Amino acid sequence: MPELPEVETICRGLKPNITGLRVKSVKISGKKLRIPIPKLITRELNNKRIANVYRRAKYIMIEFKEDKDLLLVVHLGMSGRFIYHAQPLEKHNKHDHFIIKFDDNTELILNDPRRFGLVTMLRRQEMDDFKFFQKLGLEPFSDEFDVAALKEILKNRSKNIKNTLMDSSLIVGIGNIYASEILFKTKIHPERAAASITDAEVKKIHKAILTILENAIKAGGSTLRDYTQADGKIGSFQFDFNVYDREGEACTKCKSKIIRIVQSNRSTFFCAKCQVKDPCHPG
DNA sequence: CGTAGACCCTGCGCGC
DNA sequence: TGCGCGCAGGGTCTAC
């Protein structure tokens, strides 16, 4: 469900609220998420104070004051919500898989119906060995992610540009919504091979990735079905969508109908008039 | 090696 | 109302 802007929004919302709070108890549902939640997590986190909250790729990372080596790692998958409750719930909901109670009687709850999410803990020195962190690509907002790096990523790649942008072993954080939006903004057809992208287009894509992700963060992310911010509020970037989830509606630029196709089992939305496959032979 | 596809899971809205 | 189908901001694993 959440892409980089949504995870970033959750981290920013959580950080000022929970930093300094002491963990009073941890409960786990016992159901397997992407991987099982380690049972030791309840004992390991207990009585420790939150030191920091930050994002890596689409993972939420939480650090502790008493144990600077320890990292709590949370991924929301497709349907996960991570919500901070100022008042403890009288009754927990179905699919609440991970519940932290703090010493001021507030609660942090991960609810995830589809269970594609993940909760685990790591020692800092184990981080690079952690299976899911080994193959993470570049952070869009890092210095390493410049036009030259993007050009290198796309070079010689036969895969279509849309799935290339979504490939987290190359670039992290771009998911199904923002990939379509980035390609609309740059007027690039989603089925074009990554290798066919020209230097001028690489520059445009690089710029579009940064501006669209930035704008989405400013809007507090996009709320369609499941996603909410850490305080339960919804984001508003869905009102700025040009193509995503707009099949059959009018293109915001040329008024022709937005088309939906399927690439690697995921929906892609685009305007066939604004985003032509072959610029030499439009239409 | 890189790529395409199946698969993991629950819930919702739609057409019949 | 009930049923079956397709669809959903994720990622991994396997076969080629």
A201-249 tens-digit pLDDT: 999 999 999 999 999 999 999 988 777 788 888 899 999 999 999 999 9
Cβ atoms of A161 and A167 within 8 Å: the answer is no
Q: What is the mean pLDDT of residues A6-21?
A: 96
Cβ atoms of A21 and A106 within 8 Å: the answer is yes
Q: How far is the CA of A226 from the C1' of B10 (A)?
A: 12
Among A195, A155, A157, A153, smallest CA distance to A174 is for A153
Q: Which nucleotide is nearest to A169 (CA to C1')?
A: C11
Q: What is the mean pLDDT of residues A185-207?
A: 97
Q: Which nucleotide is nearest to A262 (CA to C1')?
A: C7
Distance CA A214, CA A178 (A): 11
DSSP3 helix / strand / coil % (chain A, rounded to 5)? 30, 25, 45
Task: Say whether pLDDT at A126 is over 90.
Answer: no
Q: What pLDDT does A228 receive?
A: 77
**Which residues 130-159 of A interface with strand C at a CB distance below 7 A?**
131-132, 135
Give pTM, 2 decimals: 0.96
* Bases of strand C lying below 7 A from some protein CB: 7-13
Q: What pLDDT does A281 receive?
A: 57
Q: How far is the CA of A114 from the C1' of C3 (A)?
A: 22
Q: Which nucleotide is nearest to A77 (CA to C1')?
A: C10
Task: Say whether pLDDT at A278 is over 90.
Answer: no
Taking residue A171's Cβ as centre, other Cβ atoms within 10 Å add up to: 22
Backbone angles phi, psi at A269, to 5 degrees: -115, 135
- Half-sphere exposure of A199 toward its Cβ, with a 13 Å CA cutoff? 1
Cβ atoms of A252 and A258 within 8 Å: the answer is no
Q: What pLDDT does A283 receive?
A: 43
Task: Say whether pLDDT at A84 is over 50.
Answer: yes
Distance CA A171, CA A158 (A): 17
A221 Cβ nearer than 7 Å to chain C strand: yes
